Amino acid sequence: MNKLAAIGFAVAVMACSLSLSACDGGLKFDPDQAAYKQFSGERALSYVQAQTDIGVRGAGSEKLKKTQRYLQQVLEQWGWQVQAQVFKNKTPQGEVEFVNLRVRYAGSQPAADLWTRPVAGLVVSHYESKKFSEFEFVGANDPGSSVAVLLEMARVLAQRPEAAARIELVFFDGEEAFVDYSDTDGLYGSRYYAESLSQWSEKTRPQWGLLLDMVGDHDLAIRVPRDSPAPLVEKLFAAAEDAGLRKYFGMGSQRITDDHVPLNKAGVPTLDIIDMEYAYWHTPGDTVDKLSAESLETVGKVTLLMIEKYLLDKSEL
């Protein structure tokens, strides 16, 4: 290779590493270097505890603002940057200000195109807890568990910057309905985010999405909705089989109203990884003692393995 060719090759390599718009042929999965093995259920459980320690984190509340600051502080220490997507919407209880949190990996030197470069996919969760007038609801499993899994995923993905840079994490506000789910109540954050995708160019739009919700139950039984995108279901089950954890994952018998619905409608095939068989759902009993570090680790490892081996490695498609 002559000197000019060598320089050209070096520039091309640098372009590939800094911008996904060029040379993105996917990542080759290396089981010895895979991040999923580093996922810690105990760490994830500590993130649940931190959220519930804040208290009731309803949409528009001061405690949810405190949660936003907590998430930003934790994520930034690992090289992720947070962008607040602020909007107002009418609800059955009046106008409320909602805040989605978009999160992208920047490392020590954020790129100028951090928020405009293409990403391969989305990993999302809602982060506000439902409001109840009758009792205090701290939402350890709903939504604390899925938020915690995303945080721990962010920690381990930061050890694989080339993979982290291909993903956008999103924490949705306003998933919970104020009265009852309808076209105008509930899924506020995901509906707003899905609408914003229309402003993305075709080449920058994510190709897939993974939604996590209620994933920490001691008696874990993930059941994906029956109308889920089949290719994503196949990849999830393949990753679970690879990890020796297939028994925890199966098909559900019904559709589910959740944050994956607006994303699917917007053209981003999105899978809802959820365990609806939880006795303490929307009760004061949804506390940290009902959760299991092992369950959090099971979901975290399988989801990460799915991403690394079946979604980012183009040779596996």
pLDDT digits (tens, 9 = 90+) for 29-63: 999 889 999 999 999 999 999 999 999 999 999 99
Domain region containing 104: 27-316
Confidence check: pLDDT of 315 > 80:
no
Report the CATH number that the domain containing residue 217 is assigned in CATH. 3.40.630.10
Q: Residue 11: pLDDT above 60?
A: no
Average pLDDT, the chain: 91
Residue 16, domain member (yes or no): no
Task: Look at residue 19 and tell me if it is in a domain.
Answer: no
Query: What integer is the mean pLDDT of 179-189?
Result: 97
Does residue 4 fall inside a structural domain? no
Top pLDDT among 191 and 21 is at 191
Name the pTM for this structure: 0.91
Question: Among candidates 69, 92, 93, 94, which has minimal Cα distance to 82?
Answer: 69
Is 297 inside any structural domain?
A: yes
Length of the chain: 317
pLDDT for position 103: 98
Answer whether residue 132 is part of any domain: yes
Per the domain annotation, does 187 fall within a domain? yes
For residue 3, pLDDT beyond 90 = no
What's the confidence (pLDDT) of residue 5? 35
Give the three-class secondary structure for 92: coil
pLDDT tens across 86-96, in order?
Answer: 999 999 999 99
Confidence of residue 242 (pLDDT cuts 50, 70, 90): very high
146-177 confidence digits (pLDDT tens) = 999 999 999 999 999 999 999 999 999 999 99
Number of domains observed in the structure of the chain: 1
Q: Provide the 3-class DSSP secondary structure of residue 121.
A: strand
pLDDT tens readout for residues 248-304: 999 999 999 999 999 999 999 999 999 999 999 999 999 999 999 999 999 999 999
Question: Which pLDDT band holds residue 133 (cuts at 50, 70, 90)?
Answer: very high
pLDDT at 111: 80
Q: What is the DSSP string of 29-46?
A: --TTT-GGGG--HHHHHH
Examine the pLDDT at 317 and tell me if it is beyond 90: no
Q: Is residue 11 a part of any domain in this protein? A: no
Closest by CA to 216, choosing from 124, 306, 297, is: 297
**Closest by CA position to 150, among listed 56, 215, 54, 201:** 215
DSSP string, 214-264: S--BSS--EEE-TTS-HHHHHHHHHHHHHTT-GGGEEE-SS---STHHHHH
Residue 22 placed within a domain: no
